[in-house]
């Protein structure tokens, strides 16, 4: 098994909690950051622009993705231009479609031609990967985020799809594939094995990296000790009952 230092896939921290983001910023193996409106709402962000600019001041030299939130494609374009102006390390997240199923590929193509660094998000099919990749072409730095974890939530193995997506992006040096929404630490090693460029990982999973390569027999013993200690602390007791022979 590879160590963290030996991984080729780039680890991006996924979250919107400033303290957690700065904790990960202190780790050299974290190469970038992603956010989204859901994560921001979860931690109580109310002023989108103020939050973003505060984070960019604290993290000025690694890529950070901020997402548009309009459902109107023209308004998405305006928001994308505004968000891109916040810093040279900003990637603008554009959803693959709006809530009315209108594809955003034309908008993506326009923004790419204008040189806006993009992170196209919420993809879950190879047809979407193909269309988005062709729309971006060689025009601007771009990430294509395939939600492998959500694909796995449907009972489908995302690895073959992600492998095929890597090949689709191969002709474009400016495009990187993101393994998004991982569900477990193993996904990092799966992404690395297929040549995926980036994986976005929440802090709770990233903190499990300390266990990489751990001796499994020792891990087994630690687990047994945990169960025993918790039983003692809880004061569990099964009273002995006298068995009376008939």
pLDDT in tens, 189-242: 999 999 999 999 999 999 999 899 999 999 999 999 999 999 999 999 998 655
Which residue range forms the structural domain that includes residue 31? 4-211
**Taking a C-beta distance cutoff of 8 angstroms, is the pair 64, 32 a contact?**
yes
Is the residue at 180 inside a domain?
A: yes
pLDDT of residue 164 exceeding 60, the answer is: yes
Residue 246 resides in a domain: no
pLDDT value for 1: 79
The half-sphere exposure of 217 on its side-chain side, counting CA atoms within 13 A, is: 0
> What is the pLDDT at residue 11?
98
- Residue 225, pLDDT score: 98
What percentage of residues in the chain have a pLDDT greater than 90? Answer: 94
> Which of 154 and 241 is assigned the larger pLDDT?
154
Q: Per the domain annotation, does 225 fall within a domain? A: no
- Mean pLDDT for 46-57 is 97
Q: Is the pLDDT of residue 245 over 70?
A: no
Any idea which residue has 């945990």 for tokens? Answer: 226
Q: What is the mean pLDDT of residues 116-132?
A: 98
Instruction: Give backbone dihedrals phi and psi of 145, rounded to 5 degrees, phi first.
Output: -95, 110
Q: What is the pLDDT of residue 2?
A: 87
Number of domains in the chain: 1
pLDDT at 239: 80
Q: Which of 96, 95, 88, 97 is nearest to 116 (CA)?
A: 88
- For residue 3, the model assigns a pLDDT of 87
User: Whole-number mean pLDDT of the chain?
Assistant: 96
* Residue 16 belongs to domain with CATH number: 3.20.20.70
Residue 25 belongs to some domain of the structure: yes
| pLDDT above 80 (res 243) | no
| Structural domain contains residue 49 | yes
Rg (CA), the chain: 22
Report if residue 224 sits inside a domain.
Answer: no
């Amino acid at each position: 098994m590879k160590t963290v230092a030996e991984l080729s896939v780039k680890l991006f921290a996924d979250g919107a909690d400033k303290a957690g983001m700065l904790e990960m910023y202190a780790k050299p193996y974290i190469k970038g950051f992603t956010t989204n409106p859901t994560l921001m709402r979860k931690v109580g962000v109310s002023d989108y622009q103020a939050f973003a600019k505060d984070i960019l001041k604290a993290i000025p030299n690694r890529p950070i993705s901020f997402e548009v939130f309009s459902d109107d494609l023209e308004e998405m374009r305006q928001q994308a231009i505004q968000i891109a102006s916040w810093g040279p390390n900003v990637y603008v997240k554009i959803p693959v479609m709006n809530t009315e199923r209108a594809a955003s590929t034309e908008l993506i193509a326009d923004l790419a031609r204008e040189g806006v660094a993009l992170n196209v998000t919420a993809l879950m099919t190879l047809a979407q990967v193909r269309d988005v990749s062709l729309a971006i072409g060689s025009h601007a730095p771009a990430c294509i985020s395939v939600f492998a974890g959500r694909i796995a939530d449907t009972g489908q193995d995302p690895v073959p799809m992600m492998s095929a997506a890597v090949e689709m992006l191969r002709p474009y040096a400016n495009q990187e594939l993101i393994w998004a929404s991982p569900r477990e630490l193993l996904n990092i090693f799966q992404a690395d094995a297929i040549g995926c460029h980036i994986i976005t990982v929440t802090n709770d999973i990233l903190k499990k990296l300390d266990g990489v390569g751990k001796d499994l027999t020792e891990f087994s013993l630690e687990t047994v000790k945990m169960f025993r200690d918790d039983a003692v602390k809880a004061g569990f007791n099964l009273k002995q009952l006298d068995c009376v022979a008939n």
